[in-house]
Amino acid sequence: MFAFSSRYAKTLTSNFRKVVRQHTEGMIGHIIWILLEIYFSFHFSVFLDENNFFLSFAATTPHEFIITGDFNIHLDNLSDHTTSQFLSLLSSFNLTQHVNFPTHNQNHILDLVITSSDSFLAPSLSVTHYSLSDHFPIFTKLSVDRTPLPPPTFHSFRRYHSIDIDSFLADLQCSRLITNPPKSFGSLLIAYNTTVSSLLDKHAPAITRFSSRKSKSNHWFTSTLRAFKSTVRHAENIWKHTDFTLDWSAFKSLRNRYHNLILASKNNIMPT
């Protein structure tokens, strides 16, 4: 199962129908979570391809997350080619697998619990051999202490969309900037700034609001990443609207670049 924010989980559900069997929405405090049940039962080459694509989504979410489910590989057999490649895949995405005991009645580790290597959840695992199936249930205890939020701030804005254009232009025509403009460039620049500021104060006065954050932002999620995320979302919306192959390729290229930028930012700030 997965725990993700609602919007991110819906993206995973739509893009990975082969992997995600069902999802259930819930709420913990003020945070909306989704549990996605997954199961891998593919051929070796398909398994690695699906995992690579799937884990790249998981590893680059800005939220805390948990990946758990039946991965259908013998993780206890380190000499197995599939196992070694899968562990290498986890390492490349800065992910940690926490199960170190048998989860199947044939004494193999098939069911996994995976988090980011930088996660604060600190999973504590236990298992019981009392089970109705050939798999043993795994109990995971997480550290979910509330992280202190940043202090409240004030922010100011103007409602430019509410400006009456005709009234604004009428006042501008009557201003000294139009009726008696200064001759020198310096004086003209001052008159321009003064006129525009006074007109904005009249037609779209600045509004100051008290802002209190409901969640703690990740310091690795920079303004560049935030802007690039908007670009990716825009490309995704275009592809969903047109369903063209060219638009899908453009969205896929931007999305992969976005994931690489997130991984690079995490590694720069929190080196392993």
pLDDT in tens, 94-110: 889 999 999 998 999 98
pLDDT, residue 164, reads 94
Work out the pLDDT band at 187, boundaries 50, 70, 90: very high
Where is pLDDT greater, at 48 or 10? 48
CATH class of 3-141: alpha beta
Q: Return the percent helix, strand and coil in the chain, to nearest 5.
A: 45, 20, 35
- The answer, as to whether pTM is greater than 0.85, is no
Strand partners, 124: 141
Token pair listed for 101: 């005991």
Where is pLDDT greater, at 207 or 4? 207
Of the candidates 53, 47, 72, which has an alpha carbon nearest to the alpha carbon of residue 11?
Answer: 53
- Within a 10 A sphere around the Cβ of 9, how many other Cβ atoms? 24
Strands 111-116 and 67-70: antiparallel
**Mean pLDDT across 114-121:** 82
Token pair listed for 85: 């490649």
Flag whether pLDDT at 241 surpasses 70.
yes
- Residues counted in the chain: 272
Flag whether pLDDT at 258 surpasses 70.
yes
Strand partners, 32: 27
Helix (H, G, I), strand (E, B) or coil at 161: helix
What is the spatial distance between Cα 1 and Cα 22, in angstroms, rounded to a whole number?
Answer: 9
pLDDT, residue 100, reads 92
**Mean pLDDT across 129-144:** 84
**The dihedral formed by the CA atoms of 128, 130, 136 and 140, expressed in degrees to the nearest 10:** -30
In the chain, where the domains are located: 3-141, 153-211, 223-269
Flag whether pLDDT at 150 surpasses 90.
no
Sign of the CA dihedral with 10 first, then 126, 113, and 216 last: positive
- CA contacts within 13 A on the Cβ side of 3: 18
Of the candidates 10, 56, 63, 57, which has an alpha carbon nearest to the alpha carbon of residue 36?
Answer: 10
Where is pLDDT greater, at 127 or 71? 127
Flag whether pLDDT at 204 surpasses 90.
yes
**Mean pLDDT across 103-131:** 86
**Mean pLDDT across 167-190:** 93
pLDDT, residue 215, reads 55
Flag whether pLDDT at 5 surpasses 50.
no
